[in-house]
Amino acid sequence: MSDSSGVRVTYIHSEQYVLACDTLSRIPRRASMVHTLIESYGLLKYMRVVEPSAPSRRELAAFHSDDYLEHLEQVSRDGDDDHPESQLYGLGYDCPTTEGVFECAASVAGGTLAAAGSLMDGSCDVALNWPGGWHHAKKDEASGFCYVNDIVLGILKLREKFERVLYIDLDLHHGDGVEDAFSFTPKVMTVSVHKFSPGFFPGTGGIDEVGMGKGRYFALNVPLQDGITDDKYFYACHTVLQDVFVTFNPEVVVCQLGADTLAGDPMCSFNLTPRGIGRCLQSILEWRLPTLVLGGGGYHQPNTARCWAYLTAVILGQTLSPEIPEHQYFTEYGPDYMLDITPSCRTDKNDQQYLDNLIARVRGRPNPVPRRGGGTTTSSQRRRRQRWRLASGGHRVARFLGCASAAVWNALPSDIKMPLQLCAIKSSGLKTDFFRTGFCVFRLVSFPRTSN
Ligand SMILES: [Zn+2]
């Protein structure tokens, strides 16, 4: 099933699934509100609805430790919020162990695994699981209201088929659990755009956190300040993500689109509207890669529902009426009963100089070069690659960005590509078979001295 733009979309949903997700104590009924708004706008007919099933213990243990899963299941069964060992697993405080929390968290993971499965069997181009996106949970620790990391489980499943996975986290908070899980691998690149401020949860996500070991430079953080609005947010996201797309050359994309960045959210930090987030999503979808779309934070429930219904329409290429349609939760959308959200007049602490400086620092880092076998480049190899003599048109210095497939190559703007046949490599130290497949992508960075 596809919409008019030809994008085949899978939508993870069942009545039982929504009821389970509605029980989360911090966001009661949010799943119902999101689903009923999408339904009342008439969007379901454009999507293939897939019912998720509860994952097995083995599926959850692909990331989480057996000890943690056993403990979480036990305290969830007993509704025991005072178990003496719970603290060891991050439970209590902002991760309360209410009765049934294990089943709820596990069913969300089942939803994300079903969405990943739809992308893997080729039955859709975009898979949607709005109740998913719990990015803080660690291997053996609950954190920031996240108990099971459905995103990590989904990415691990996608890796069974796809070589390189790009994870994009647009929640207000740093996607620490996902970044940590893949910080040592060059197969999964994580990009998180978030608020970074002293004392703000989870306290990580500075620009200098870039991944470790073989995964060095495969984690990228874009720390922003309070008050950012649509245009500047899009500028930062779009610039960074287009570079990542070229250098990392992903085969599949996973997006976490937490709605706690919206104006009016109780987090009271960013000042975005669904249209701003929609522009970012649209530019990701233009890559035409299999894409898994997940929710995340979002604590103003009507605004979260507005946002995710709007983003569903963006994916489907549909236009929604500006007035909220009559439905079960209609009264929650007062006083204006409109789809759009008006940004507040609070100060934007991200001036253009801050953003340009941030982008310059992101661009100044060495580029990850994905290679067969998953090895990483040494610094001397990298230095050699960054200074190539191009025979055509005199001696130019170009910065090597990576190898691209034909599809990626065709989508690139002309100012960042140069056909390989124009490049005569005078000295590189590189094995030529590295270049036998795909296209080499360069960015011309200067036109310096003409001598060797
Ligand atoms: Zn958040």
User: pLDDT tens across 19-64, in order?
Assistant: 999 988 788 899 999 999 999 999 999 999 999 999 999 999 999 9
**Distance from residue 78's CA to the centre of ligand 1 (Å):** 28
395 is catalytic: no
pLDDT at 131: 97
Strand partners, 14: none
**Distance from residue 411's CA to the centre of ligand 1 (Å):** 32
What residues sit around ligand 1, an ion, with C-beta below 5 angstroms? 171-173, 258, 260, 297
Task: Please state, rounded to an integer, the average pLDDT across all residues of the chain.
Answer: 84
Give the pLDDT mean for 408-427: 44
User: pLDDT tens across 232-241, in order?
Assistant: 999 999 999 9
pLDDT at 442: 47
pLDDT at 446: 34
**Distance from residue 80's CA to the centre of ligand 1 (Å):** 26
Give the pLDDT mean for 407-427: 45
**Distance from residue 145's CA to the centre of ligand 1 (Å):** 9
Lowest mean pLDDT among 7-16, 171-180, 217-226, 373-382: 373-382
Asked if residue 212 has pLDDT above 60, the reply is yes
**Distance from residue 298's CA to the centre of ligand 1 (Å):** 7
Instruction: Give dist(CA 121, CA 117) in Å, integer.
Output: 6
- Give the rounded percent of residues in the chain with a pLDDT score beyond 90: 71
Asked if residue 387 has pLDDT above 80, the reply is no
397-to-101, 368, 392, 412, 444 alpha-carbon distances in Å: 57, 19, 11, 20, 6
Which one from 136, 174, 194, 300 is the annotated catalytic residue? 136
pLDDT at 437: 32
**Distance from residue 58's CA to the centre of ligand 1 (Å):** 28
**Distance from residue 162's CA to the centre of ligand 1 (Å):** 27
pLDDT at 392: 32
pLDDT at 409: 54
**Distance from residue 431's CA to the centre of ligand 1 (Å):** 45
pLDDT at 269: 97
User: pLDDT tens across 59-102, in order?
Assistant: 999 999 999 999 999 988 887 777 878 888 888 878 888 888 99
**Distance from residue 144's CA to the centre of ligand 1 (Å):** 8
Q: Strands 396-404, 439-446: parallel, antiparallel or unpaired by DSSP?
A: antiparallel
User: pLDDT tens across 148-170, in order?
Assistant: 999 999 999 999 999 999 999 99
Q: Do 128 and 293 form a contact (C-beta atoms < 8 A)?
A: yes
pLDDT at 436: 30
Compute, in degrees rounded to 10, the torsion defined by CA atoms 163, 166, 167, 169. 180
**Distance from residue 4's CA to the centre of ligand 1 (Å):** 33
> Which of 128, 215, 220 has the alpha carbon at shortest distance from 168?
220
> Which of 128, 146, 125 has the alpha carbon at shortest distance from 137?
146
**Distance from residue 318's CA to the centre of ligand 1 (Å):** 27
3-state DSSP assignment of residue 396: strand
What one-character DSSP code corresponds to residue 403?
A: E
User: pLDDT tens across 109-135, in order?
Assistant: 999 999 999 999 999 999 999 999 999
